[in-house]
C-alpha cells in the first residue's frame, strides 16, 4: 500500500484508532526497505544549462547576469529567483556545484554524460538508462524498463541507446502525434485536454480501421514466422529481436498501457505540473514509476520546447527564464507527488545536461559552452539532501572545493539506487567493463 492509501483507509474507518500512532511510521519503514524496487528519473537538459542562472548564482559579480537569487528552505543555500518552488524543496536536493569535465562539444559531451565514457574506441557503450534498466528492472514486466520522454538527445541519439547490452534494454521513446509534439493551446474556451501537451507512444494501438480479431490474426502470423526464423538462425541478435517484439505485443495488449494515459489524472494536478511537454512528461514519469518502470528520462530541450533549449549563445536571460519556469513547476510537482504517494524514498532523481555555460556573457547576450566548472543536482531516495556540495570561485571560472567528474556523479547515482557501480558487464567481444570506473561521493549518500 502507498502511504496515501494507508491514510485514506484510516480516514474512512478501515483502520482502527489505535493504528493512528504507528501507521505513518510503518509507511516510512516500508518505503525505506532495501529490498523494495528502486527507480531512477533523469531530467535531461539538452543544450547545456547555465549553472550561474540556475543553481550556482553569482549575483555580486559581473558574470552573474540579470537574475537575482532567493533563499531556500535550507539556511545558506540560494538559487535562481526563477526556481521558487524548488527553493522550497532544497532539503531534498544535493546541488553539486563542482562538476568538471573535458568535453565542450554537444555530441561528445552528451556521450560522456550519458554513458560515463569518453567517446572513443570501437566499443558501443550503453547509456546509463540502459544499464540501470538492466540492473533495476524485471524483464518479465510488460512495461519497458527504460522510457524516454522526448525526441532523444538532439546532438547524439546513439548516446541514449543500449550499446553492447542489446535491443532488450533500448529505450521506449514517447513522442508526439506523428513524431511531433502538440503543445498546449492555452485557451480557456477550448476542451481542457487541448491545454496540455500531447504525448504519444508510437504503435501502442492497432492502426485505424483494424479490428481486434484482425489484429490478433496478424500477430499470430508474425509470431509464427518469427519463431521459424529464430529456430533456423539461432543468434543473440535474433533472440533479442524476438524478445523485443514479444514485449511490444505484451505492452499493447496489457493493462500497463494505461500508464501512458494522462487523461486519468485530475486537471488541477496536470496544471500544477505545467501544460508543456516537460511538465506533462514529469507527470508521466510519476505514473510510470508507479507502474514499476525502472528508469525514466524526461527531456527539456529543443525537441520538447519551441526554442533552442538550453543552448543559449544569445538572449540567454529571456530563454532561461522561460525554461526555468517549466523546470520549476514540473520538477517541484514531481517531487511532491512522489512523496505524497510514498515513492520519493525509492526514486532517485538526477538533473543534468552535457556541460555548463561560460561565466562571462558574450557580445550577443548569451553564454557559450563551458565544461570546466558547472552544476548537476541529485535528489530523492538514497541522497543526503539539503546541501550544496563543492564550490566555484567568485567569478564562476574555477572549482575551488570538492572537484568531481562525471564518473563520481554516476557512481553516486548507482549507489543511491542500491547498484554497485563496480558491477561488470561483458561487451559483445567478451571484455568485462564496469558500470562506472570511479568512486561515489560519500557525502551525497544518505
pLDDT digits (tens, 9 = 90+) for 377-401: 999 999 999 999 999 999 999 999 9
75 and 119 part of one domain: yes
> Residue 118 and residue 407: Cα distance in Å, rounded?
11
Is residue 191 packed enough to be buried (19+ CB in 10 Å), middle (13-18) or exposed (0-12)? Answer: exposed
Q: How far lies 339's CA from each of 31, 144, 262, in Å? A: 10, 23, 19
Quote the number of domains for the chain: 2
208 and 322 part of one domain: yes
Task: State the CB neighbour count (10 A cutoff) for residue 219.
Answer: 15
83 and 153 part of one domain: yes
pTM (2 decimals)? 0.85
21 and 93 part of one domain: no
58 and 150 part of one domain: yes
Burial call 357-387: b when 16+ CB within 10 Å, e when fewer: bbbebeeeebbbbbbbbbbbbbbbbbbbbbb
14 and 47 part of one domain: no
8 and 126 part of one domain: no
175 and 142 part of one domain: yes
Ranges 34-48, 112-126, 244-258: which has the least confidence: 244-258
255 and 386 part of one domain: yes
Residue 37 predicted with pLDDT over 90:
no
Q: Model confidence over 180-230: pLDDT tens digits?
A: 566 665 444 444 556 898 888 876 666 677 777 786 777 778 777 777 776
Range of the domain at 14: 1-31
For residue 190, the number of C-alpha atoms closer than 13 Å in the C-beta half-sphere is 9
Kindly state the cell numbers that stand for 299: 527531456
1 and 72 part of one domain: no
For residue 80, give the CATH number of its domain.
3.40.720
Q: How far lies 104's CA from each of 80, 109, 293, 312, 356, in Å? A: 24, 6, 32, 14, 9
139 and 250 part of one domain: yes
60 and 208 part of one domain: yes
Helix (H, G, I), strand (E, B) or coil at 121: coil
Q: 260 versus 200: which is more confidently predicted?
A: 260
- Phi then psi for residue 235, to 5 deg, are -160, 155
Amino acid at each position: 500500500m502507498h502511504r496515501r492509501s494507508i491514510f485514506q483507509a484510516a480516514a474512512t474507518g478501515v483502520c482502527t484508532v489505535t493504528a493512528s500512532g504507528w501507521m505513518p511510521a510503518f509507511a516510512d519503514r516500508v518505503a525505506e526497505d532495501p529490498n523494495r524496487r528502486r527507480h531512477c528519473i533523469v531530467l535531461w537538459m539538452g543544450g547545456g544549462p547555465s549553472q550561474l542562472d540556475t543553481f550556482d548564482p553569482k549575483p555580486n559579480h559581473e558574470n552573474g547576469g540579470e537574475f537575482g537569487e532567493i533563499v531556500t528552505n535550507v539556511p545558506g543555500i540560494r538559487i535562481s529567483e526563477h526556481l521558487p518552488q524548488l527553493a522550497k524543496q532544497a532539503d531534498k536536493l544535493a546541488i553539486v556545484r563542482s562538476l568538471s569535465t573535458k568535453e565542450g562539444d554537444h555530441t561528445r559531451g552528451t556521450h560522456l554524460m550519458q554513458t560515463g565514457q569518453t567517446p572513443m574506441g570501437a566499443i558501443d557503450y550503453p547509456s546509463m538508462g540502459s544499464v540501470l534498466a538492466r540492473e533495476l528492472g524485471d524483464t518479465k514486466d510488460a512495461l519497458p524498463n527504460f522510457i524516454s520522454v522526448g525526441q532523444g538527445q538532439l546532438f547524439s541519439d546513439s548516446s541514449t541507446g543500449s550499446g553492447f547490452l542489446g535491443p532488450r534494454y533500448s529505450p521506449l521513446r514517447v513522442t508526439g502525434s506523428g513524431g511531433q509534439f502538440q503543445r498546449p493551446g492555452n485557451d480557456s474556451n477550448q476542451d481542457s485536454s487541448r491545454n496540455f501537451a500531447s504525448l504519444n507512444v508510437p504503435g501502442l494501438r492497432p492502426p485505424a480501421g483494424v479490428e481486434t480479431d484482425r489484429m490478433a490474426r496478424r500477430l499470430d502470423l508474425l509470431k509464427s514466422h518469427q519463431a521459424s526464423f529464430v529456430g533456423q538462425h539461432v543468434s543473440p541478435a535474433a533472440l533479442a529481436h524476438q524478445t523485443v517484439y514479444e514485449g511490444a505485443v505484451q505492452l499493447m495488449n496489457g493493462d500497463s498501457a494505461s500508464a501512458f494515459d494522462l487523461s486519468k489524472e485530475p486537471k488541477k494536478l496536470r496544471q500544477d505540473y505545467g501544460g508543456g511537454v516537460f511538465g506533462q512528461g514529469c507527470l508521466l514519469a510519476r505514473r510510470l514509476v508507479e507502474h514499476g518502470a525502472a528508469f525514466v528520462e524526461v527531456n527539456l530541450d529543443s525537441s520538447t520546447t519551441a526554442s533552442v533549449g538550453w543552448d543559449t549563445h544569445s538572449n540567454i536571460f529571456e530563454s532561461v527564464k522561460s525554461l526555468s519556469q517549466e523546470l520549476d513547476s514540473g520538477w517541484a510537482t514531481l517531487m511532491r507527488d512522489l512523496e505524497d504517494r510514498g515513492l520519493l524514498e525509492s526514486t532517485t532523481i538526477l538533473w543534468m545536461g552535457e556541460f555548463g555555460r561560460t561565466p562571462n556573457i558574450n557580445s550577443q547576450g548569451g553564454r557559450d559552452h563551458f565544461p570546466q566548472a558547472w552544476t548537476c543536482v541529485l535528489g530523492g531516495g538514497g541522497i543526503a539532501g539539503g546541501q550544496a556540495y563543492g564550490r566555484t570561485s567568485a567569478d564562476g571560472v574555477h572549482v575551488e572545493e570538492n572537484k568531481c567528474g562525471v564518473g563520481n556523479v554516476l557512481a553516486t547515482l548507482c549507489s543511491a539506487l542500491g547498484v554497485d557501480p563496480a558491477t561488470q558487464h561483458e561487451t559483445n567481444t567478451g571484455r568485462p567493463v564496469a558500470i562506472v570506473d570511479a568512486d561515489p561521493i560519500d557525502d551525497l549518500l544518505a
